[in-house]
Structure 1
């Protein structure tokens, strides 16, 4: 590792003097004004100002410049209402408006897409850690139920896009980084754009020894994205992804262990071995291949149809068992848009369907020091989701716009358990769980006030069937009594700009009443299972405000010192409580829902100079929150300070270089980036790294 760091430092020392006398390179992406941002959410392809929904946007600057470590987590945490955790390096958990209360790990209850290609499988699971942030160019987060167009789910929807490919240009970028706790990474990106095609090929490697014992990670990602204009009316696109990921899982600590040595992994007990002794970790290989066909009959009618296939090879040596899982997925989605711009009420109709299917072979073995032992369970699971949807968007008089949508959602599971012993074995058991199809409506009304301000109200229904990892948890078996979540969300929003667009604001207030809320439980061995917990009442306020110290006329003049000078703030206030929740003899009604901070405040300062220097400072505060349903244990308040300094310069006509240094947890606070909720033995804590740093370089050539 020291050799790699010396190599990186030598590279920086060689190029840095050159950059100080070179031409200025182009900014990573343009400064976006709220009135100009076009979002894809709900298939409107309208300015954010004209979109009647809460949508958070992350650009390439947010994803690949603001933070030095190449992980998606800190960028997502700058959005109000969104919380990403990394319990150990590579182990992601994502919550939109508290949707992670049922996720001990992974991403559930959220739909994700890559340019209409579904990334979330039929079992409701999303392999978010199979994506590398260095290959992403843009993320849109739709907050709250969005079933009228994207199917079942009560949390929200995430729309991913790759790096933009400039027309009629080609480029190659190589990168390297090194940092604390054995962090090392490199990558290469090749892009070429022609009149009728755009191709992007990315390879990225990342590895780290980890801050805690038993927390190393190694990840390799390869992606190919191509778009080809076959004719003036037809465009064909392809997305190919491959991820090879291994990360160790140190396990949760109780409070005494966490305070005594936050870097420790879970120790042995009188009845169970330690995480290190069992070599606890995840081995995950994910392959994904998708095709998209877009056809434009004319300027009013167009259709996009996609199909995909996926495969996952998964192994999880755990403290008490060793799970091996093979998963194959297939699916498709078609969406047709019909625009009727003329007439007294211009209207756009969107209709479509989505069908997803997964087949999973899942076996549990004993775990003997990280090696699979005697087979314990042998099971197969099939999952299917079918969605039909329609939406109408109509322009009304007096600057009103009405959006009304409806979808039909059908989820089904089939489960087979095979005998594992020949002598006296029972025959194979076949079970099915078919949830009744549901209709999910959504209605939203928006009004614009001039060209700078808009307000909206919306009512949407959410529905989320149990995921495949909930009906068939890691310890095996099939839960035939777990019911889907269903609820109704009411929301009011106001967004716009003032002071000649220097001040921008986006505020939303919502109330989500959820029935049959799914929550996680764990047994004495730490294996999870899931139950319905009655109702929850979820109320929240989300606000995002930014201020440019200099007016747009200053930036448009192409003169002066700065190309960006901004301060911004994201505030999330929540009051999530159980209703009608009985746990044994205890009545937990009116208790706070665990894992959801009542106050989250993130403040940042962004500065970029025309000479190529840039700086980003981010401060994050989370108030304490409950760690269990009984509300008897609370987290510690979290204060996190991060900063990045860099310079991006041109080297002659075709070459450019970007050199940066970044610091994380600069206040050196001991905190947990991801708690284990309702943990047995009070093992709630997963320590995040202490103060650490990373430095890197990106070298590119364009022609």
Structure 2
């Protein structure tokens, strides 16, 4: 089926049959990821019910982020979404792929855009500091899957929209928390919130530390965030977001298969020519500061504008086996979005127009690494990155319950690079190099139809564009690439979502085909330093599905009933992919038709959620990934992943002011030897980064409100 996805548009012809199963929706009081009939999403600026949104959007609420798993990271929650894959090669080293592989990202998050209530978190160089966020400070995540450049700019993977914790109106509350677990895991946090008629403020501090499962894999992280929203007048709202993260984690490095089988807890060993990771004290030291201001003005009930400005700074140091990199980033930018609603015409329409401008200034210096100490300077460089996007979108209500969305954006990416002379013998004079990619227009067209109150289907065509990130035009191997080209592609997609049996059964299915040109892939030299090349075309076909069934729901119980269970749900998340290279020649080898590494052909995540009226709750999650190739030649494959996780807790209010929540969580309960993040196309065949065997976490949260 995956080989014929362009024909999936004909799915529309069969959607009407599903309306026969639709039932009248029952209102729900749950803030739940799977309440398709009630939940409102912000993706593509529609602010509509998910059922009425002509796009594939994954949702995570606070229950998914902070209750289902005891591990205080984003990784397990993101991996419950079909089409989304988050890796953690070592504690703190995140990698994220949305509908694609992570072959562009040895570490970090690239080829996606991220926002916090319209504030851009992705910098002008295309990098997103996902590990600077603490999951305990988040209340909601939306993931838009597939190219979304018509409204959010460059990127072929997707877009992530973050939101903070909801503030109770007319109340103040304080929550303190603590957790501990295997391998020296310790954490604590405090949240202070106050909500009044004209303001809402949240102050959040979280600490996390771990010795790590592997040798040389310790982590220490402190996060603080301040989020405020103030209704200055009936028409004007001003918001502020302040973030600061101080993170240090050790990087143990990859192992060969033989080393992985002998001792998966080992860090990268020394060779005859290179020292070990531990000897060189390899790691990441990262301090990120971010301050953003948002101004929303409502002229009337039909016209409103949101304008944001931000500034950021990053202090980054990376002692590596072969060198010591020090980098300082200063970023700034803004975004303005105006919506005009015309609800009373013959075709009710909402227009969205706006622009986004980002700029980054980076100073990078490479030194020799002498046992974790910066030695003689090797390179002294500056990089300026600029991104600009102008966009417009129209959403039109058509007859016969159709809704048409048409969007278009113009994207411009520019780099300026200067290398300064050092005291090294034979150093060249300062040189300025520029790389200005030709501006591109990115259109998107989507058509949605509803079939009764509970079923909808959509088809869409969108174009994707992703310029090389700053870490790709200036890789760790050094120099500045003037030949690396942007990725371009076209995505065709069809989706069906809805509910049946009084909304107990819910489903969300999408199929897509994405033809990508000039695919960017990572390479490594003999010392392990990376560089990037274009690898011709790739064909990316996939199916994503999410199903759930509620055996017991709170909405099915009257106020006089006293059942023990208040929620009993089983859910499934399925991803099927067929990603293959086309026209890809590597040296003398023709790799055409090989699978793209890092993408599992099949991923299944299934779970069971239970909550009781006395306050007990339990979550069981099982994840399976079948083997996938680890290099372009497809000569090495990953191990199958079978991961079982469980959380058991008790949450109950005491009196009018206090709430207690205690929980215990188990990870990798089947005690599998596996890797949550492989090094793809690794030099020396060092593909393997072992994840912890069976381990446990316990925690407590105490909150008071007044």
Query: The TM-score by the shorter chain falls in which range?
Result: over 0.9
Structure 1 residue 69: Cα displacement: 1.2
Structure 1 residue 169: Cα displacement: 0.4
Question: Which secondary structure does the structure 1 equivalent of 2:232 belong to?
Answer: strand
Say whether residues 1:615 and 2:613 are aligned partners.
no
Counterparts of residues 80-229 of structure 1 (less than 5 Å): 80-229=82-231
- Sort the Cα spacing of 1:558 and 1:625 in 2 relative to 1 into closer, same or farther, 3 A: farther
- Sort the Cα spacing of 1:145 and 1:31 in 2 relative to 1 into closer, same or farther, 3 A: closer
Q: Which residue of 1 aligns with 2:698?
A: 695
Structure 1 residue 344: Cα displacement: 1.0
| Structure 2: 5+ residue stretches without partners | 1-28
TM-score by length of 2: 0.95
Q: Which residue of 2 aligns with 1:600?
A: 603
Q: Which residue of 1 aligns with 2:564?
A: 561
Say whether residues 1:637 and 2:640 are aligned partners.
yes
- What do the CA deviations read for 1:131-169 (whole angstroms, capped 9, x no partner)? 000000000000000000000100000000000001100
Structure 1 residue 676: Cα displacement: 0.3
Question: Which secondary structure does the structure 1 equivalent of 2:267 belong to?
Answer: coil
Q: Which residue of 2 aligns with 1:46?
A: 48
| Structure 1: 5+ residue stretches without partners | 1-26
When structure 1 is superposed on structure 2, of 498-507 and 94-103 the one drifting more is 94-103
Question: Which secondary structure does the structure 2 equivalent of 1:256 belong to?
Answer: helix
- Sort the Cα spacing of 1:29 and 1:401 in 2 relative to 1 into closer, same or farther, 3 A: closer
Structure 1 residue 558: Cα displacement: 6.7
Say whether residues 1:339 and 2:341 are aligned partners.
yes
Distance, in Å, in 1 between the alignment partners of 2:558 and 2:337 is 39
Distance, in Å, in 2 between the alignment partners of 1:683 and 1:203 is 37
Structure 1 residue 552: Cα displacement: 6.1
Counterparts of residues 21-100 of structure 1 (less than 5 Å): 29=31, 33-100=35-102
- What do the CA deviations read for 1:234-291 (whole angstroms, capped 9, x no partner)? 0000000000000000000000000000000000001000000000000000000000
Whether the 8 Å contact between 1:472 and 1:478 is mirrored in structure 2 is: yes
- Sort the Cα spacing of 1:555 and 1:53 in 2 relative to 1 into closer, same or farther, 3 A: farther
Match for residue 590 of structure 1 among 575, 581, 593: 593
Distance, in Å, in 2 between the alignment partners of 1:248 and 1:229 is 44
Say whether residues 1:348 and 2:354 are aligned partners.
no
Say whether residues 1:506 and 2:508 are aligned partners.
yes
Distance, in Å, in 2 between the alignment partners of 1:287 and 1:687 is 31
Distance, in Å, in 2 between the alignment partners of 1:653 and 1:469 is 52
Structure 1 residue 32: Cα displacement: 5.8
Whether the 8 Å contact between 2:364 and 2:382 is mirrored in structure 1 is: yes
State the Cα RMSD in Å. 1.1
Structure 1 residue 42: Cα displacement: 0.1
Q: Which residue of 1 aligns with 2:309?
A: 307
- Sort the Cα spacing of 1:509 and 1:182 in 2 relative to 1 into closer, same or farther, 3 A: same
Match for residue 444 of structure 1 among 426, 439, 446: 446
Whether the 8 Å contact between 1:658 and 1:699 is mirrored in structure 2 is: yes
Question: Which secondary structure does the structure 1 equivalent of 2:417 belong to?
Answer: strand
Distance, in Å, in 1 between the alignment partners of 2:581 and 2:424 is 47
Q: Which residue of 2 aligns with 1:660?
A: 663
Distance, in Å, in 2 between the alignment partners of 1:322 and 1:557 is 64
Q: Which residue of 1 aligns with 2:408?
A: 406
Structure 1 residue 33: Cα displacement: 2.0
- Sort the Cα spacing of 1:594 and 1:31 in 2 relative to 1 into closer, same or farther, 3 A: closer
Say whether residues 1:646 and 2:620 are aligned partners.
no
Structure 1 residue 459: Cα displacement: 0.2
Q: Which residue of 1 aligns with 2:631?
A: 628
Structure 1 residue 577: Cα displacement: 0.1
Match for residue 260 of structure 2 among 250, 258, 283: 258
When the two structures are aligned, how many residues end up with a matched partner? 677
Whether the 8 Å contact between 1:501 and 1:552 is mirrored in structure 2 is: no
Q: Which residue of 2 aligns with 1:529?
A: 531
Question: Which secondary structure does the structure 1 equivalent of 2:277 belong to?
Answer: coil
Structure 1 residue 687: Cα displacement: 0.2
Question: Which secondary structure does the structure 2 equivalent of 1:104 belong to?
Answer: coil
Question: Which secondary structure does the structure 2 equivalent of 1:100 belong to?
Answer: coil
- Sort the Cα spacing of 1:594 and 1:422 in 2 relative to 1 into closer, same or farther, 3 A: closer
Say whether residues 1:298 and 2:304 are aligned partners.
no
Question: Which secondary structure does the structure 1 equivalent of 2:552 belong to?
Answer: coil
